[in-house]
């Protein structure tokens, strides 16, 4: 089979086209394996849809299904545009979290995120306040003055207790910095789109950031998150790294 590898600010994905839905959990585990497969944080399957440009199936590296992934939404929109599945620099596709609309301008892709849900704002763990926000998938968010220290043991404990991704973020005068532990990868990743959006939502609600701000994940790349006309938008560059045939 032929697969395309994309990187979206350090989050990497394997993308391919299929004609039918299927349980591809085992395939995702094989393809995403860093040593014995192609290697990726997740796998995206592009499927035909009668109403939208396409539908996707998204799998984490461990084979688990995920309803949404912000960085993958930008990568797959670019992929579909190149394949002629969508046209005129616009993509509209169905995910497990709802319909995503994206705009493609060269390698810069902006996704309109699904309507988020603020589930809880009163979680106290380790003497710190956490918000639980579903921005397509659930995220715990804590705001700190310093995020240089990333306690992986604490992150895993919180991930297991709340079955959510775990984010720490800090805000400066003109930017927000985010680090994320992702379930399904079960480690810190270089970037997480829905995590950056969840961090923006909390800080925006608390009045710490304006309606648009630069965001830097661990990869150091520059992205933008904004709130416009009731819609949260997430934009940044994507990179098609290679196309390959795999025997897996």
Catalytic residue numbers, as ranges = 69, 192
Tokens 């032929």, residue located: 2
Instruction: Return the closest-CA partner of residue 188 out of 228, 134, 147, 226.
Output: 147
How far apart are the two ends of the chain, measured CA to CA in Å?
8
Asked if 1 and 16 touch (Cβ cutoff 8 Å), the reply is yes
Strands of the chain, DSSP E? 2-8, 11-17, 42-47, 54-60, 90-95, 98-105, 108-112, 117-125, 128-134, 138-143, 165-171, 175-182, 187-189, 212-216, 223-228, 231-237, 239-245
Residue whose pair of structure tokens reads 């395309």 in the numeric block: 4
């Amino acid at each position: 089979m032929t697969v395309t590898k994309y990187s979206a600010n350090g989050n990497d994905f394997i993308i391919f086209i299929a004609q039918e839905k299927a349980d591809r959990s085992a395939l995702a585990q094989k393809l995403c394996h860093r040593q014995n497969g192609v290697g990726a944080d997740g796998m995206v399957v592009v499927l035909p849809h009668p109403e939208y440009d396409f539908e996707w199936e998204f799998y984490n590296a461990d084979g688990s299904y995920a309803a949404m992934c912000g960085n993958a939404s930008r990568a797959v929109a670019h992929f579909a545009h190149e394949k002629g599945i969508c046209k005129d620099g616009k993509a509209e596709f169905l995910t497990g979290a709802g319909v995503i609309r994206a705009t493609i301008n060269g390698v810069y892709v902006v996704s309109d995120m699904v309507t988020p849900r603020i589930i809880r704002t009163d979680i106290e763990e380790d003497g710190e306040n956490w918000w639980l926000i579903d921005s397509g998938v659930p995220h715990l968010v804590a705001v700190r003055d310093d995020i240089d220290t990333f306690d992986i043991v604490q992150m895993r404990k919180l991930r297991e207790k709340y079955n959510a991704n775990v984010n720490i973020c800090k805000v400066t005068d003109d930017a927000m910095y985010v680090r994320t532990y992702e379930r399904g990868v079960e480690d810190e990743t270089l970037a997480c789109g829905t995590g950056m959006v969840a961090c923006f939502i909390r800080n925006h609600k608390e009045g710490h950031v304006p309606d648009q701000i630069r965001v830097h994940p661990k990869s150091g790349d520059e992205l933008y998150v904004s709130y416009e006309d009731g819609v949260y938008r997430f934009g940044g560059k994507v990179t098609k790294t290679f196309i390959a045939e795999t025997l897996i």
